Structure 1
């Protein structure tokens, strides 16, 4: 296990269950444009299914209305059907769409299980999206011993880790009795995860 996973698990563990779900949902929104780009580029998948699942996650947050395990499983099944396989699309856009769809699936799993590991995995999906993008953008050789340190110091990776850290700090000080559109909008990232 890498230090990022250990650190993010510790930080996320300080949040309430609702705070953890909010972190995960906001991160899904942050990753969603990558799925949409992939679907348009390759004419495969269903942005509507991913968006509907994200919308349902926010409804759960806003209404504090527990969904049945069956309802959540139906959403997971629908999302899993539209997550691309990197064997079928050997392009970085596929990996990014995979991360976006998987993050939504992990978030839905969290609603069922309340297992912190699912939220940690959402954070890792976002980190991995940036990591892979940097490797491809800069044509890094993974055997280069400096590869990891170069990725870690890249402005996109620094920005994503800072985004996650700041989001956790913001959520930690909020009273989450009421989660509304205004609160959600205030937490959404202003810049895309990759550019």
Structure 2
């Protein structure tokens, strides 16, 4: 069984990687979160995924070592922040997951602004938190159950997410600067796998 997610361990591993590799790792986490946002959007008629898609596309462009200005990043951040739903206004299972998707993408935009790799760790943490909540809700877990955290960790969806994270770290660390072919393959697989969290 995969070990539980650790911010400190992930930060240590990411710190050994180049910025474009760190960013690519964060981007695949976000790709897998977008379907939860789209599901939420369809359920409640909330806004549009387009600003998030635009921002994530810009992140992938940045992975190819193409410069995005601070002004452009600021505009993308502003648009993305407006996409975040309030948990007080919606009861959908995917409300928190929709928030997590927005916050994860914003974290990567912040990383492009300040270079703080902890932002990429935050994006990965949001990805784990989304799966955590979905597992709790689907399995109707009692928050008072002392074994709840162990059950969440052992759940197939969480194990799948942790395994993918480890695989993505290894693959991202091998991507050479400006290697569009490798980045496209990395991105395409993430998009192909992303629906599994929603539909499982």
TM over 0.5: yes
Q: Does 1:86 align with 2:87?
A: yes
Q: Does 1:15 align with 2:17?
A: yes
CA distance in 1, matches of 2:58, 2:175: 22
Change in 2 beyond 3 A, CA 1:75/1:185: closer
Q: Name 1:154's counterpart in structure 2.
A: 155
CA distance in 1, matches of 2:197, 2:179: 27
Give yes or no for contact 1:9–1:116 (8 Å, CA) kept in 2. Answer: yes
In structure 1, the gaps of 5 or more residues are none
Q: Name 1:117's counterpart in structure 2.
A: 118
Q: CA RMSD in A?
A: 1.7
3-state SS of 1:101 partner: helix
Give yes or no for contact 1:15–1:172 (8 Å, CA) kept in 2. Answer: yes
For residues 144-176 of structure 1, the C-alpha deviation after alignment (integer angstroms, 9 at most, x for no partner) is 110000001111111101101110011112323
TM-score calculated relative to the size of structure 1: 0.92
Q: Name 1:101's counterpart in structure 2.
A: 102
Give yes or no for contact 1:103–1:122 (8 Å, CA) kept in 2. Answer: yes
CA distance in 2, matches of 1:76, 1:19: 21
Q: CA deviation at 1:90?
A: 2.5
CA distance in 1, matches of 2:45, 2:54: 19
Moved over 6 A (4+): none
Kindly report which structure 2 residues correspond to 1:53-64, keeping only aligned pairs within 5 A, or say none.
53-62=55-64, 64=65
CA distance in 2, matches of 1:161, 1:125: 13
3-state SS of 2:6 partner: helix
Bigger shift: residues 11-20 or 151-160: 11-20
Change in 2 beyond 3 A, CA 1:173/1:58: closer
Q: CA deviation at 1:8?
A: 1.7
Q: Name 2:170's counterpart in structure 1.
A: 169
Q: CA deviation at 1:71?
A: 1.0
Q: CA deviation at 1:18?
A: 0.6
TM-score calculated relative to the size of structure 2: 0.90
CA distance in 1, matches of 2:62, 2:117: 17
Give yes or no for contact 2:5–2:162 (8 Å, CA) kept in 1. Answer: no
